[in-house]
Structure 1
Amino acid sequence: MGRIIIINIVRFFILVLLQVALFKNIGYYNVAAAFPYIFIIFLLPIGLPNLLLFILAFLTGLTVDAFYDSVGVHAAACVTLALYRIFFHKVTLEVEIKDSFNTPSLGEMGTKWFLSYIFFGTLIHHLVLFLLETFSFANFLYTLASIFLSSIFTVAVLLLMSLLVYRKKSRISNI
């Protein structure tokens, strides 16, 4: 249990540092930007209580808001992502897995499940983020293009990160 907490704290600092120092300055013509800090919320343990999940998501978004000089936009998007995560886990996971404290990773959950989990979560996060950021329907097609292209860019970065730490599912429990 202590090891999981330490891993998640280290993951938080590394991903927020990468977001603020590197990915804040990387973009594609102000249309596509990557937000890999949301990987923190995706990789929190499955059996985490919902209240703690919402608090951690809010604090993660608030930390990024402090560096981006935005007014709670990332915090609102992260809380929405936490709500999506709860719904997705409730719909797709079995009862035994829901009660475990496993990290939902590519090696543990499988490619199909993990890719849909990451893609739809990123899409929802970016939808809330960009719609709250613009708060106007004046350039709606530009906003939709930003949502879609940023989602693809973020999913590609998240998949690269998850492939870097990919470990196959342990076969010990199946014996």
Structure 2
Amino acid sequence: MAKIFVYNAVRFLVLVILQVFLFKNIGYYNLATPFPYILFILLLPVGIPNFLLYCIAFSTGITVDAFYDTLGVNAAACVALAWARIIFVRITLQTDHYESYLTPLWGNVPFRWYFLYVSVITLFHHAVLFMMETFSFHQFHYTVVRVLLSCIFTVVIILLFSLLFYRKKQR
């Protein structure tokens, strides 16, 4: 249990620091902006209590908001991501008490499930984030393009991170 806490604390610090100091400055003409900090929320254990997941998601989002000078947009998107994660895991995984500390890493779950998990939840997060950021349907096509390109960019970076730290499933 303490090992999982330490891994997640280090993962939080590394991903938020990378997001704030590196990925904030990377983008493609304001169309594709990566947000790989959401990997922290995606890799939390499956059996984490919902209230704690929402609190962690809000804290992660508000931390990024503090550096981006956005007033709660990332926090709201992270809480929406936590809700989507709960629904997705509840629908697709059947876990018992023994597997409640399972971290949905590429080595622990099949690649197809992991790719779908990352893609769907990232798309949901980005849709909420960019729709709240614009808060208008004035340039809806532009917003949809931003959501899709940012989602692709983020998913590629998350998969590269996952490949970097890939471990075979231990039996």
Structure 2 CA distance for aligned equivalents of residues 97 and 148 of structure 1: 36
Residue 61 of structure 1, CA deviation: 0.2
Correspondences of 1:139-154 after superposition (within 5 Å)? 139-154=139-154
Partner of 2:168: 168
**CA displacement, residues 94-151 of structure 1 (integer Å, 9 cap, x when unaligned):** 1327852011100101100000000000000000000000011111111000000000
**CA displacement, residues 15-45 of structure 1 (integer Å, 9 cap, x when unaligned):** 0000000000000011000000000000001
**CA displacement, residues 50-103 of structure 1 (integer Å, 9 cap, x when unaligned):** 000000000000000000000100000000000011001111111327852011
- Paired residues in the alignment total 171
Partner of 1:111: 111
- Alignment check: 8 A CA contact 1:127 1:147 kept: yes
Partner of 2:15: 15
Correspondences of 1:60-79 after superposition (within 5 Å)? 60-79=60-79
| Structure 2 SS opposite 1:107 | coil
Q: TM-score, normalised by structure 1?
A: 0.96
Unmatched 5+ residue regions in structure 1?
none
Partner of 2:54: 54
Partner of 2:36: 36
Identity of aligned residues (%): 56
Structure 2 CA distance for aligned equivalents of residues 140 and 100 of structure 1: 40
Displaced runs of 4 or more, over 4 A: none
Q: TM-score, normalised by structure 2?
A: 0.98
Unmatched 5+ residue regions in structure 2?
none
| Structure 2 SS opposite 1:27 | coil
Task: Rate the CA distance shift 1:147–1:19 in 2: closer, same or farther, 3 A.
Answer: same
| Structure 2 SS opposite 1:33 | coil
